[in-house]
Homo-oligomer: A and B are copies of this chain.
Amino acid sequence: MSDYFTPGQVAERFGLTLDTLRYYEKAGLLREVERAPSGHRRYRTDDVELLHLVRCLRDTDMPIARLRDFAELVRDGDHTIPDRLEVLQSHQHHLNARIAELRERQDTIQHKIDHYLGVLAENPAPDERPLPPPGSGPAPETASAGEGS
């Protein structure tokens, strides 16, 4: 029932390396972590919770610099909650926009896929050509008119 976590445990839990964990601390994404007498870090529940959010924001591409600003707000105390809200909400908006963009791009890519499928359908490769009508001779070379991009 330890009320702290070792670096190894935290790294494991969040799928980070020890190096990254230390890097985050140095970069100001976590408050300075407590130490055991040996000098080894001891992560508290608070640290782990903040790290959870940090991880979440990093995974959604918030830059380190912005994360540092956020972490600073957290360190500055409860009166910064409105500011933190603003950071998180603006990030949500950003994510909405990003998701919408990805979807749009997916549509474009899908058009290209459909185009290729169409090309294959009228001009299938030998090993996946549907059975030719019985009695037909050997297939002629299917000359395609250049690269349709």
Instruction: Using CB atoms and an 8 Å cutoff, list the residues of chain A in contact with chain B.
Output: 46, 49-50, 52-53, 56-57, 59-60, 74, 77-79, 81-82, 84-85, 88-89, 91-92, 95-96, 98-99, 101-103, 105-106, 108-110, 112-113, 116-117, 119-120, 123, 125, 144, 147, 149
Contact = CB atoms under 8 A, between A and B. Distances in A.
Contact of A119 (B52, B81, B96, B125): B81
Given A52-B108, A88-B112, A95-B102, 20 more contacts: A49-B149, A50-B149, A53-B108, A56-B105, A56-B108, A60-B109, A77-B147, A78-B119, A79-B125, A85-B116, A85-B117, A88-B109, A88-B113, A88-B116, A91-B109, A92-B106, A95-B105, A95-B106, A96-B106, A99-B103
A116 to B, nearest CB: 5
B95 A147 contact: no
Nearest to A120: B81
Contact of A82 (B49, B89, B120): B120
Contacts of A79: 125
18 contacts: A53-B108, A53-B109, A53-B112, A56-B108, A56-B109, A57-B105, A57-B109, A59-B105, A60-B102, A77-B147, A78-B119, A78-B147, A79-B125, A88-B112, A89-B113, A92-B106, A92-B109, A92-B110
A89 B59 CA distance: 23
